[in-house]
Amino acid sequence: MERGMEMLFALFGGLAMFLYGMDRMSRALQRAAGDAMKRLLARLTATPLLGVLTGLAVTAVLQSSSAATVMVIGFVSAGLLELPRAVAVIYGINIGTTMTAQLIAFDVQTLVYPVLFLGFLLDFAARRPRWQAVGEAVFSFGLLFEGIDILGRALQPLAGQTVFLEWMTRVKESPLLGILLGLSMTMVVQSSSATIALLQNVARQAGPDGIHSVLGLAGAVPVLLGDNIGTTVTALLACIGQGKNAARAALAHSCFNLSGSLLAAVLLPWFVRLVELISPKGPELEVISRQIANAHTAFNVCCALLWLPFLPWMVRLVCALVPEE
């Protein structure tokens, strides 16, 4: 009983540290970027492709798709960004948010403490607010990875638990259950990055044979798809009371992720095979985290490539769903 409580506290503590680090880093980067980030988002959207690249760049810098999406919705509501341009930026935001999973897949645990010290030093010694914000962002980046390490250590004892193995077997055998699990986790935590980090750590745990992942790539992808659907809830909440076009932008975000997830679920065996082809080869437990990160990136890049030529159709669809009075 005592062992179980200790593991539970470590699990929630690691998740809390990850979320706190992510939130602090995003806020600090927004302060460091200042109005330049807002001007970039508002101006560099002349063409759909440029809008996608702008959304990708902004989210890669802010490290928060929710913050970038809420920013876009605010611009649309204020009339600073036209709806077609906002939709293109949202496509790019979905690609940019995959950078977090890619970073997590690298083994950077030995660099965590130097990063924490460097961030503290910058924040403590800097006199200019912008450099203080940079120091806080670096320190928060270290906290984020320390939270990931705590999560991994907390999950290790679970790999030998019968109940945990039974649940993972069910998820592995039922893609629908995996999608619902990912959806519910992201709706509760309100961070797809956190749930994908948790998914990467769960998938790293060995199954009964001690060689293969307890979940495997085929079992992890449906959970990943559910994460992508669940992350649209933040945008839908942010558009409340913001006007018709803001609601349409948030709805375009939902349509983008929902349609892509349904298509990927239908083509699940082929999508898994594609991810295996573009991922490094090696023992499953060593490459599964990178495979999940690549699956996240491939999913959003493919969705953006599929939807980009049909951008006017997406705009018409959301305008039909949220018509003028």
Q: What is the pLDDT of residues 174-228, one digit of tens each?
A: 888 888 888 887 777 667 777 788 888 888 887 777 777 888 888 889 989 988 8
Residue-level pLDDT at 152? 64
**List of the chain residues with pLDDT < 50:** none
Token digits of residue 159: 């790999």
Residue-level pLDDT at 29? 67
Contact indicator for 307, 91 with CB cutoff of 8 Å:
yes
Residue-level pLDDT at 277? 92
pTM: 0.79
Closest by Cα among 233, 185, 230, 213 to 284: 213
Rounded to whole angstroms, the Cα distance separating 123 from 325 reads 51
Rounded to whole angstroms, the Cα distance separating 211 from 231 reads 32
Residue-level pLDDT at 296? 92
Closest by Cα among 161, 150, 154, 248 to 208: 161
Residue-level pLDDT at 164? 63
pLDDT digits (tens, 9 = 90+) for 141-150: 777 777 767 7
Contact indicator for 205, 157 with CB cutoff of 8 Å:
no
Residue-level pLDDT at 165? 64
Integer-rounded Cα Rg, in Å, for the chain is: 20
